[in-house]
Amino acid sequence: MAATGVVALTLALIAFGGGIVSTDSSSEAAIVADQLPRFHGTSSPLDPDTRDRIPGSSWHPGCPVGLDDLRLLRLTYLGFDGEAHAGRLVVHRAVADPVRHAMRSLYRQRFPIRRMRLVDAYGAADHRSMNADNTSAFNCRFIAGQPGVWSQHAYGKAIDINPIENPYVTGSGHVSPPAGVPYADRSGRTPGLIHRGDATVRAFTAIGWGWGGSWSWPKDSQHFSANGH
């Protein structure tokens, strides 16, 4: 196959959620591997801007973690446009390196992510962030419908990925966010969907995290967490 044909095939597979193309030619494989820039991922204590931004938003006094316990991840991710983008997540310092490794795996597997902004860009409102199909992590909040019970997001030990393509679905059929209704049927192969046993689930299983899509009910296919809850 000509090099241009390999490039075209690779881009087509990316558009449909496919992975890296394998060929018998090392030179053609190199062309495919070079479709995206190298992954860059860093972990650091919260910078001054973030420390000023999140109090009163995603963090407040009484949260189960302090600001010194949090780390800012700067990560490369593949957008739905097939281009590399720079995103940010805030997580607990204890999981910063494992999460960085998992996100590197997603990038290498060409898993597309809609956007990756701190939840503070949406006023720390979970529903606003989900409606924007935003991938986010730390948010000092209770579990929905369970006042007084901290979510794993409040510890910086959970991530929600592509909430529209991977909605929260109850046994009675309630879907959140509402734009996720077309994706409540998990049999499709739309880009950005997460399926049992796929590369995305394996990336987080490899660091010991659990997936909300494996719960009995409700199903929370966007949700990965350190303790599986």
- The 10s digit of each residue's pLDDT in 22-38 is 233 333 333 344 578 99
Tens digits of residue pLDDT in 54-68: 999 999 999 999 999
Once rounded to an integer, what is the mean pLDDT over residues 189-195? Answer: 95
157 touches 225 (CB < 8 A):
yes
Amino acid 8: pLDDT: 41
For the chain, percent of residues with pLDDT exceeding 70: 85
Residue 155, pLDDT above cutoff 80: yes
Residue 11, pLDDT above cutoff 50: no
Instruction: Write the CB contacts of 57 (distance below 8 Å, at least 6 apart in sequence).
Output: 119, 120, 123, 124
Tens digits of residue pLDDT in 72-107: 999 999 999 999 999 999 999 999 999 999 999 999
Residue 172, pLDDT above cutoff 50: yes
pTM for this one? 0.84
Exposed e or buried b per residue across 204-227, where buried means at least 16 C-beta atoms within 10 angstroms of its C-beta? beebebbbbbeeeebbbbbbbbbe
Amino acid 35: pLDDT: 77
**10 Å Cβ neighbour count for 109?**
17
Amino acid 141: pLDDT: 97
Amino acid 14: pLDDT: 38
Q: 20 or 137: which carries more pLDDT confidence?
A: 137
118 forms bridges with which residues in the sheet?
Answer: none
Phi, psi of 96 (to 5 degrees): -60, -50
Rounded CA-CA distance 124/20 in Å is 36
